[in-house]
Amino acid sequence: MNRVNKCLWGIVLIGLGVIFGLNALGLTDVRIFFPGWWTLFIIVPCTIGLITENEKLGNLLGVVIGVLLLLASLDVIDFGLVWRLIVPIALVAIGLKVIFKGIIGSDKARQISSEQERERRTKIREGEVVDDKEEYWATFSGQKVSYDGKNFKGCRLEAVFGSVELDLRGAKIAKDAVVKTSSIFGGVKIIVDSDVNIEVASSSIFGGVTNDHKNSDSNKKTLYIDATCVFGGAEIK
């Protein structure tokens, strides 16, 4: 899927290059900078996302808002109406996404997370020390976390106007684990070894998850990524 994404962006760039070249030679007079041309920076990426990404709602929302802004720039509709509609449309889309994810989200991720939570509560009742619910935050800052040689049972990553990098290379993942991430105007990066499979369930509004990791049928460990991206993103390598 990532390969298709790159191909589509390559086609877009080639098309722009051809148009600029033909205009420079005087063979064509295609107007690139028409009223509202800047809305293409919203419409084009979201359209490509609709084709290449599993999560459609956030990209669909981007296309709708981009088209509305383009129509307003062309004086087809009133700008004031568009701005008044953006927040309600975004709220409805986010609400639908939350409901959709809650109903048919990653069942396996929820199962693993529930099992870990029951195990954690049992250990607490028995007085054992638990460290399998680590949380890492980055607000207007950056943080790098490494589990090289350490046991890993799952964690939560929160990036708000910041970035968090989780390096799991060399980590001891005894069984399936869940990483919950939240990227709000920020970014999360997760690096894993080749012997770990990755499964992603995400909710994205003007953002998304890029998974460059290749799974293998021979791998016995699976890392479940439960990601929420709002004007942000998560990258898996």
Q: With 60 as the cut, is the pLDDT of residue 79 above it?
A: yes
| Contact indicator for 154, 178 with CB cutoff of 8 Å | yes
CB atoms within 10 A of CB 190: 24
Q: What is the pLDDT of residues 135-175, one digit of tens each?
A: 888 888 888 988 888 888 888 888 888 889 999 998 888 77
Q: What is the pLDDT of residues 12-67, one digit of tens each?
A: 778 778 887 888 888 877 776 778 888 888 888 778 777 766 666 677 778 888 88
- The model's pTM is 0.51
In three-state secondary structure terms, 233 is strand
Domain map (residue ranges) of the chain: 2-103, 105-236
Q: What is the pLDDT of residue 54?
A: 60
Supply the DSSP symbol for 75: T
What is the Cα–Cα distance from 152 to 222, expressed in whole angstroms? 12
| Contact indicator for 195, 172 with CB cutoff of 8 Å | no
Q: How confident is the model at residue 124 (pLDDT cuts 50, 70, 90)?
A: very low
CB atoms within 10 A of CB 72: 19
